[in-house]
């Protein structure tokens, strides 16, 4: 996805699910490259240098605004939760999604995701409400 071709990336890498380990590895080698969440970069700007990417419309730097708008592609993407109409009929599912929506700012902060804009939060809430009425 990133290189526009399967298996076109470097093979001399160390995979890890732990973003802190990746930050340490990249910070310790000036010729290294790493992929991890933007908030990990934000927390380590004194150790890391961000790379601008060109998703076809010119080079774009990583930022919350560029991630929220989709301009920092292909290295940013929206994350969704999916709720079927059948499961929405279950009170615990509806309660979970209501909790998620009402606490979205805390959820994304804890998960170290890029926060939603006020407009995105409004859309999330109204679309869920419309789903409940369908």
| Intervals of CATH 3.40.190.10 along the chain | 1-77
Write out the CATH class of domain 1-77. alpha beta
Is 125 exposed, middle or buried, given 0-12, 13-18 or 19+ CB atoms closer than 10 A?
A: middle
- Note if the pTM is more than 0.75: no
pLDDT tens figures, 51-98: 898 888 899 999 989 998 889 988 888 888 888 888 988 999 999 999
Q: Token pair for residue 73? A: 């592609």
Is the pLDDT at 30 greater than 80? The verdict is yes
């Amino acid at each position: 996805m990133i290189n526009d071709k399967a298996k076109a990336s470097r093979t001399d890498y160390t995979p890890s699910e732990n973003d802190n380990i990746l930050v340490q590895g990249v910070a310790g080698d000036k010729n290294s490259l790493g992929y991890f969440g933007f908030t990990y970069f934000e927390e380590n700007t004194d150790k890391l240098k961000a790379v601008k990417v060109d998703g076809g419309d010119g080079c774009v730097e990583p930022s919350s605004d560029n991630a929220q708008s989709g301009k920092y592609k292909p290295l940013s993407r929206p994350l969704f939760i999916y709720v079927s109409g059948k499961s929405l009929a279950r009170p615990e599912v509806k309660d979970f999604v209501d909790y998620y929506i009402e606490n979205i700012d805390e959820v994304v902060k804890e998960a170290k995701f890029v926060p939603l804009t006020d407009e995105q939060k409004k859309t999330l809430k109204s679309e869920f409400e419309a789903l409940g009425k369908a």
